[in-house]
């Protein structure tokens, strides 16, 4: 393998790689965002505890939905995404509708990410001090209002690093979606390698592109996180920030 050949491949086939990058980013980003929405709904729903006064029917319904959601989560976390991709793609294709591969890819990665996000959101919810819930409830807020206004915003904040990590995982793991022939980076690399017969160099280039995408994303997220800590919404108790210093000054005056 020579670096020179790597550059030669890159120079000649960069349109293929660029298309691959584009598809990979579209699939990963939409998968992460839709997955996050699924995770908020599923994780939030599972974390709601019914009041003692809730009617029996509500209780059964909640229980039944909880169990189905648990099965969904276990299924998608316990099987490889590559298998999920071919299974879902062909099942829908043969039984329901001849659907677009790209749509299939986004659906698969979203449902898959949703399963992981559900657990991330649920543990984010559990990391919120139970006193927050009790305070809201003692003011007469319903469990739903409490979840939406008080618990979820803090849970998302606590789970932010894990949520970002899902995006990075998706950049890498979307490579298995080549199995349904979408033009993501791995699929594109395969066709470049098949044309050039320079497997080592091609896949080295591929690896470097993945590395660049993941490290740039984590750099970006890291900075967003720092920024979040600097705003007034800062969650960690800190007594050396702008406000308390201002207060301290006023006191001494």
Q: How many residues does the chain have?
A: 253
DSSP string spanning 143-161?
A: HHHHIIIIIHHHHHHHHHH
Nearer to another protein, 71 or 245 (CB): 245
If phi > 0 it is left, if psi is from -120 to 50 it is alpha, else beta; for residue 198 that is beta
**Residue 79: Cβ within 10 Å count:** 13
> For residue 181, is it left (φ>0), alpha (ψ between -120 and 50) or beta?
left
Rg (the chain; Cα; Å) = 23
**Minimum distance between the CB of residue 246 and another protein, rounded to whole angstroms?**
9
CB closer to another protein, 63 vs 233: 233
Nearer to another protein, 8 or 157 (CB): 157
Measured from the CB atom, the residue of 100 and 134 that comes closer to another protein is 134
Asked if residue 38 lies in contact with residue 117, where contact means CB atoms within 8 angstroms, the answer is yes
- Residues in contact with 210: Cβ distance below 8 Å, sequence separation at least 6, in sequence order: 171, 172, 175, 185
* Minimum distance of another protein from residue 56's CB (angstroms): 15
Binding string, residues 126-165; x marks residues near another protein by CB under 8 A: ---x-xx-xxxxxxxxx--x---xx--xx--x--------
Residues 39-68 that bind another protein (CB under 8 A): 51-53
Nearer to another protein, 12 or 246 (CB): 246
Three-class SS state of 56? helix
CA 138 to each of CA 20, 57, 134, 216: distance values in angstroms, whole numbers, following the listed order: 53, 25, 6, 45
Q: How far is the CB of 144 from another protein (least distance, A)?
A: 10
Tell me the C-alpha distance between 123 and 117, whole Å.
10
Stretch that binds another protein, among 21-29, 31-39, 64-72, 125-133 (CB under 8 A): 125-133
Per CB under 8 A, contacts with another protein among 105-124 are none
Q: Which is nearer to another protein, 100 or 129 (CB)?
A: 129
Binding mask 230-249 for another protein (x = CB under 8 A): --xxxxxxx--xxxx--x--
CB crowding 48-57: b at 16 or more within 10 Å, else e: eeeeeeeeee
Size of the site for another protein (CB under 8 A): 33
Contact between 226 and another protein per CB under 8 A: no
Segment 167 to 206, residues that bind another protein, using CB under 8 A: none
Q: Which residues bind another protein (CB under 8 A)?
A: 51-53, 129, 131-132, 134-142, 145, 149-150, 153-154, 157, 232-238, 241-244, 247
């Amino acid at each position: 393998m020579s670096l020179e050949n790597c550059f030669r491949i890159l120079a000649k086939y960069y349109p293929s790689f660029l298309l691959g990058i584009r598809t990979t980013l579209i699939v990963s980003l939409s998968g992460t965002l839709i997955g996050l929405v699924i995770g908020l709904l599923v994780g939030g729903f599972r974390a709601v505890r019914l009041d003692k006064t809730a009617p029996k029917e509500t209780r059964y319904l909640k229980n039944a939905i909880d169990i189905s959601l648990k099965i969904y989560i276990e299924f998608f976390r316990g099987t490889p995404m590559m298998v999920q991709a071919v299974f879902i793609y062909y099942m829908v294709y043969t039984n329901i509708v001849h659907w677009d591969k790209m749509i299939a890819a986004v659906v698969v990665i979203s449902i898959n990410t949703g399963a992981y996000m559900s657990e991330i959101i649920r543990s984010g919810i559990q990391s919120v001090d139970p006193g927050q819930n009790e305070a809201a409830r003692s003011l007469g807020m319903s469990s739903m209002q409490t979840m939406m206004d008080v618990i979820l915003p803090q849970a998302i904040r606590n789970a932010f690093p894990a949520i970002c990590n899902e995006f990075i995982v998706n950049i890498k793991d979307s490579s298995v979606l080549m199995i349904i022939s979408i033009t993501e980076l791995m699929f594109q690399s395969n066709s470049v390698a098949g044309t050039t017969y320079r497997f080592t160099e091609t896949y080295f280039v591929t690896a470097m592109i993945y590395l660049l995408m993941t490290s740039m994303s984590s750099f970006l997220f890291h900075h967003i996180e720092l920024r979040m800590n600097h705003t007034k919404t800062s969650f960690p108790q800190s007594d050396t920030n702008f406000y308390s210093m201002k207060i301290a000054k006023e006191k001494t005056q």
